């Protein structure tokens, strides 16, 4: 990767917001994009290699830690890892019991997986902006985004998976006719059969919009918050490195460097709350959507 001192601030930002993309080039060959423009030209079938690699790696880390704790669990005095895992499981269990009124053995494990997985993906935002991309740059890797939740493909993938389960259980619990009635008989109701038929179209429009908005808002909320947080880290990083370049020339450079370092620390501490809260919100909405799918009206 090029040093932040040899490129403009705009180029620095674009570089850090570009995924390592694999796809079909303009000449018909397949490979990794060497520029943001080439990555954009690869179209819909392009794959964000870094987002997939980091998300799968962090998911495997979650499975390894929790399975290790389960294998080494003891009935007596638990160790630090077992205490931590039990605390997380109890926290998720309380939230599921408080928001999910039906019975489905899938919901609690899914909520646990979603919370821990998204938390780990968000946690990568605390890694220094330059460290990993600069290290991989020596290996010839042109781009590297290490926060999967700043990629809308990842957040939409998670949200659409939840949405698919929501639709599946809506049809399974209520039946095709019941689910269709839920979309066409509310919110406008009437006892007159003719008026009830007239209300079908506006009811379906309102309910369909409400239904489709769930995965969109579910994914964009997580993406927007994490993307904004990453952008702030990048802007503070520009301030820090700009000050470092000027530190040997002016006192203002020293002040800018110290201010940038202090802001990085303050924003990182505050960001711990954000990354946890966003994982929690995504999990709670998942539980609520699954509860709505199990409700019979």
pLDDT digits (tens, 9 = 90+) for 109-141: 999 999 999 999 999 988 877 778 777 877 777
> Quick one: average pLDDT of 283-293?
95
Least confident range of 148-152, 225-229, 237-241, 283-287:
237-241
Q: Between 210 and 243, whose confidence is greater?
A: 210
Torsion on CA atoms 86, 88, 92, 93, rounded to nearest 10: 10
> Quick one: average pLDDT of 240-254?
56
Which pLDDT score, from 0 to 100, does residue 25 have?
A: 87
**pLDDT tier at 173, thresholds 50, 70, 90:** very high
Which pLDDT score, from 0 to 100, does residue 251 have?
A: 56
| pLDDT at position 1 over 60 | no
Three-class DSSP category at 40: helix
**pLDDT tier at 142, thresholds 50, 70, 90:** confident
| Mean model confidence pLDDT for the chain | 87
| pLDDT at position 105 over 60 | yes
| pLDDT at position 5 over 70 | no
| pLDDT at position 224 over 90 | yes
Which pLDDT score, from 0 to 100, does residue 225 have?
A: 93
pLDDT digits (tens, 9 = 90+) for 174-216: 999 999 998 998 888 888 888 888 999 999 999 999 999 999 9
Least confident range of 6-10, 79-83, 282-286:
6-10
| pLDDT at position 6 over 70 | no
Residue 252 corresponds to which tokens in the numbers above?
Answer: 């203002």
Which pLDDT score, from 0 to 100, does residue 2 have?
A: 39
| pLDDT at position 102 over 70 | yes
Residues with a catalytic annotation lie at 217, 221, 225
| pLDDT at position 249 over 70 | no
Q: What share of the chain is helix, strand, coil (3-state, %, to 5)?
A: 75, 5, 25
| Full DSSP string of 227-280 | HHHHHHHHHHHHHHHHHHHHTTT-HHHHHHHHHHHHHHHHHHHHHHHHHHHHHH
Which pLDDT score, from 0 to 100, does residue 3 have?
A: 42
| pLDDT at position 60 over 70 | yes
Q: Are 152 and 219 in contact (CB under 8 A)?
A: yes
* Residues 6 or more apart whose Cβ sits within 8 Å of residue 256: 239, 240, 242, 243, 246
Percent of the chain with pLDDT over 70: 91
């Amino acid at each position: 990767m090029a040093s932040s001192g040899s490129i403009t601030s705009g180029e620095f930002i674009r570089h850090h917001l570009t995924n390592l993309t694999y796809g079909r080039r303009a000449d018909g060959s397949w490979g990794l994009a060497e520029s943001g423009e080439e990555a954009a030209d690869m179209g819909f079938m392009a794959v964000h290699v870094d987002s997939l690699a980091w998300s799968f790696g962090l998911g495997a880390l979650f499975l390894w830690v929790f399975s290790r704790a389960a294998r080494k669990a003891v009935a007596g005095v638990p160790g630090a890892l077992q205490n931590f895992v039990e605390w997380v499981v109890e926290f998720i269990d309380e939230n599921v019991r408080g928001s999910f009124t039906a019975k489905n053995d899938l919901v609690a494990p899914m909520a646990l997986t979603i919370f821990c997985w998204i938390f780990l993906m968000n946690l990568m935002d605390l890694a220094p902006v330059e460290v990993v991309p600069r290290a991989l740059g020596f290996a010839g890797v042109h781009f590297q985004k290490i926060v999967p939740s700043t990629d809308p493909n990842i957040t939409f993938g998670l949200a659409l998976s939840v949405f698919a389960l929501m639709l599946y259980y809506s049809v399974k619990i209520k039946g095709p006719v019941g689910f269709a009635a839920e979309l066409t008989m509310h919110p406008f109701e009437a006892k007159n059969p003719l008026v009830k038929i007239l209300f079908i179209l506006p009811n379906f429009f309102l309910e369909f919009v409400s239904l489709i908005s769930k995965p969109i808002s579910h994914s964009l909320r997580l993406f927007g918050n994490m993307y904004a947080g990453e952008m702030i880290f990048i802007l503070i990083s520009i301030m820090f490195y700009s000050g470092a370049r000027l530190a040997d020339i002016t006192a203002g450079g020293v002040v800018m460097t110290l201010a940038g370092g202090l802001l990085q620390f303050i924003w990182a501490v505050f960001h711990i709350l954000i990354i946890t809260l966003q994982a929690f919100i995504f999990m709670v909405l998942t539980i609520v959507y699954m509860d709505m799918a199990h409700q019979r009206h």
